[in-house]
């Protein structure tokens, strides 16, 4: 687990709270949120709470090296034999993690590794399109999803995500825009927008907004 007493970035300062071990400063901040403060919960913290509440497996990475470590652990934990990945940058991460031999064709893979468009805070969903799924339906893909994303991809809501996609693709908007979450249904009716899927979903979130 990354040492959160070092540099605190977008998620770093909240991570010990999420793990149940707040520092004194973080405990004070948490108390202010609990006892009547009008301060709005940060979008990053809200995303992680909603994502894990739906059954997603969240792994915070202070840097890419942390991702290598977690990827090595995911293989035995899920009993994976092969990972399908068509993203050259992510293939590089898998290779650096010592998993080159696990990269297999889709027909031989029991895990699917991809990036995403955005991470949606209000419902804990991972926004993906045909760019990530290669145009395939979710039920055509392996049962284990491994998503590798950056903290800068967290947005507050679906509208922000759709606006980001329109700006990113400049008129050539990809099809099959959806948000996926874990298999646990939320008790909050406002957070149900997004595909509840039966997949085992891992999210490796790499910090890219480190501050002193």
Q: Could you read off the pLDDT tens digit of each residue along the chain, which spans 212 residues?
A: 333 333 444 444 444 434 444 444 444 445 444 444 456 789 999 999 999 999 999 999 999 999 999 999 999 999 999 999 999 999 999 999 999 999 999 999 999 999 999 999 999 999 999 999 999 999 999 999 999 999 999 999 999 999 999 999 998 999 999 999 887 765 554 544 555 567 899 999 999 865 44
Closest to 45 in 3D by CA, of 5, 15, 3, 9? 15
CA 119, 122, 124, 128: dihedral to nearest 10 degrees? -40
Domains of the chain: 43-206 (3.40.50.10420)
Other CB atoms within 10 Å distance of the CB of residue 91? 16
Q: What is the Cα–Cα distance from 88 to 189, expressed in whole angstroms?
A: 38
- Beta strands at 178-181 and 125-128: parallel, antiparallel or unpaired: antiparallel
Closest to 104 in 3D by CA, of 124, 82, 119? 82
Residues sharing a CB contact under 8 Å with residue 162, sequence separation 6 or more, in sequence order:
177
């Amino acid at each position: 687990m990354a040492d959160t007493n070092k540099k605190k970035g977008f998620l770093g300062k909240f991570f010990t709270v999420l793990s149940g071990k707040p520092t004194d400063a973080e405990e004070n901040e948490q108390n202010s949120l609990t006892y009547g403060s009008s301060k709005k919960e940060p979008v990053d913290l809200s995303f992680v709470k909603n994502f894990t509440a739906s059954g997603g497996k969240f792994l915070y990475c202070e840097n890419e090296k942390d991702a290598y470590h977690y990827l090595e652990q995911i293989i035995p934990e899920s009993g994976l034999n092969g990972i399908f990945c068509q993203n050259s940058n992510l293939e590089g991460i898998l290779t650096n993690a010592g998993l080159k031999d696990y990269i297999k064709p889709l027909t031989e893979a029991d895990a699917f590794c991809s990036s995403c468009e955005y991470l949606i805070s209000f419902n804990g969903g991972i926004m993906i399109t045909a760019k990530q799924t290669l145009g395939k339906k979710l039920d055509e893909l392996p049962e284990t999803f491994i998503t590798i994303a950056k903290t800068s991809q967290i947005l507050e809501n679906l509208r922000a995500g759709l606006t980001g996609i329109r700006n990113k693709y400049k008129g050539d908007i990809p099809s099959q825009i959806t948000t996926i979450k874990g298999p646990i249904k939320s008790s909050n009716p406002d957070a149900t927008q997004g595909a509840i899927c039966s997949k085992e979903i891992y999210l490796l979130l790499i910090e890219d907004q480190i501050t002193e």
